[in-house]
Amino acid sequence: MVEASGMMYTNTNTTLVPAFNPSIQRNHLRLCQLPLLRRHHVQFSLSATASETSAFMETIPWGCENDSLENSSSLLKWLSQSGLPSQKMAIDKVDVGERGLVALKNIRKGEKLLFVPPSLVITPDSEWSCPEAGEVLKKNSVPDWPLLATYLISEASLKESSKWFSYISALPRQPYSLLYWSQSELDRYLKASQIRERAIERTNNVVGTYNDMRLRIFSKYPDFFPEEVFNIKSFKWSFGILFSRMVRLPSMDGKVALVPWADMLNHNCEVETFLDYDKSSKGIVFTTDRPYLPGVYFIWE
């Protein structure tokens, strides 16, 4: 899945401030500005050493391997029980080497698919399983992205006690993201690329945002934000998830959201369709810009 490059938060005078990318022209988050982050281009560079990867896995006990179909099947079962209508697509391994949604039957151009109800979408307004933690962040006016990053960690740490357990279990334990690249890897593989400076800036922003929240919030409320859970490794994980899966929904006042099941779609910069809320069906839909034959995986921008 391509890493989104739409927004990041920087800290100024220990205040979390949203910094919007002026290159964003549409109401959904652009996911095609970092072409080197396609799945099949980054598998050689997930971390500097095997020991670092092992330490990360021990720190992040939730999620699954990137190609796990079992967790995805459990996700669909839970979504169906929670109100997701019958689907014309299924999860399967696709030719980019990981999971994707493939057509179960002939799909016409212009056909609407998915219909994920808003109750199954994660937004900044989603209810916290630990409401006290959510109130602390809202009281401190934490912007949407770091708020959702913290929300993901909070819900993930609660495991089966969280409404989102099945969804989080289907998320990659280690997202494909430049956040996991070492400085030497950035210098080696992106030496002549403009992406290198953007990658360094992004990593610095994530680290700076975490340090700011740790100083202003986490350290003051350790009962709600214990350091063994809310640390830089879990923060990189949650931001990695947001960068690769977050969308903006134009018909819901531009609200940013994670849309379970829909975020299994594969991205392609040449596609002219995106997710949005459909008022007639009252669900998040994907409108195809081309026909699909059975077994072909869906792509979106």
Residue 2 lies in a domain: no
Residue 87 lies in a domain: yes
CB-CB contact of 42 with 174 (8 Å): no
User: pLDDT digits over 35-86, tens only?
Assistant: 333 333 333 333 334 444 444 445 567 888 877 888 888 999 999 999 999 9
Compute mean pLDDT per 10 residues along the chain, 301 residues long, and list them: 42 38 33 35 37 48 82 91 95 80 95 96 97 97 96 96 95 82 79 79 91 97 96 94 92 94 83 87 94 89 61
Domain total for the chain?
1
CATH assignment of the domain containing 111: 3.90.1410.10
Residue 71 lies in a domain: yes
pLDDT at position 39, please? 33
Q: Which domain holds residue 20?
A: 7-300
Task: Find the distance separating the first CA and the last CA of the chain, reported in whole Å.
Answer: 11
Residue 1 lies in a domain: no
Residue 215 lies in a domain: yes
pLDDT at position 295, please? 92
pLDDT at position 184, please? 82
